[in-house]
Amino acid sequence: MERKHDLDRTRSADQAQGQRERDAQDRLMELGADRLEPRPWRPGPVPPTAVDLTQYALWRSADLTRDDLLSALALLPAARAEVEGVEIGLLFAARNEGLTWTQIAEAMGFHSPQACQQYVTRLSARQDKRT
């Protein structure tokens, strides 16, 4: 029974976070983020991503209220997941292009190829856990 309780609690926490993110997106869109220029690499029309919205909030931070800033902060987990997805995509593309772990590690500032590979393994595991 305890496992079901833990799953229910996790599901409830995930739903609450999802609602906070939707509320935060709505708030920042109302503040003007809905007028951001579309990114040329994204098929249109799509709404701004969590990264776009958090950057918008930072850019407008001097004009935002505490509640607006709290909304932006609520989007940080989603923005982090987006950035990690981009990172994994770039790493996959680099490996597919034939770059070695040594080259990738050097470009990313790791001290060894093994440290870079371990980082990628952890990053992939986090992404797998999210899906």
Q: What's the structural domain count of the chain?
A: 1
- The secondary structure of residue 64, as a DSSP letter, is -
User: Can you tell me the distance from the alpha carbon of 131 to that of 119, in angstroms, rounded to the nearest whole number?
Assistant: 19
Q: Which residues contact 67 (CB under 8 A, 6 or more apart)?
A: 27
User: Can you tell me the distance from the alpha carbon of 111 to that of 13, in angstroms, rounded to the nearest whole number?
Assistant: 37
Other Cβ atoms within 10 Å of 55 Cβ, number = 16
pLDDT in tens, 44-66: 777 888 999 999 999 999 999 99
Q: What is the pLDDT of residue 2?
A: 59
In a domain, 106, yes or no: no
In a domain, 115, yes or no: no
Report which of 99, 96, 90 is spatially closest to residue 123, judged by C-alpha positions. Answer: 90
| Residue percentage of the chain with pLDDT more than 90 | 56
Q: Tell me, rounded to whole angstroms, the distance of Cα 116 from its chain centroid.
A: 20
In a domain, 113, yes or no: no
Give the largest CA-CA distance in the chain. Answer: 50
pLDDT in tens, 92-106: 999 999 999 999 999
Domain that holds residue 43: 2-79
Q: What is the pLDDT of residue 50?
A: 92
In a domain, 92, yes or no: no
State which amino acid sits at residue 102: T
Other Cβ atoms within 10 Å of 48 Cβ, number = 21
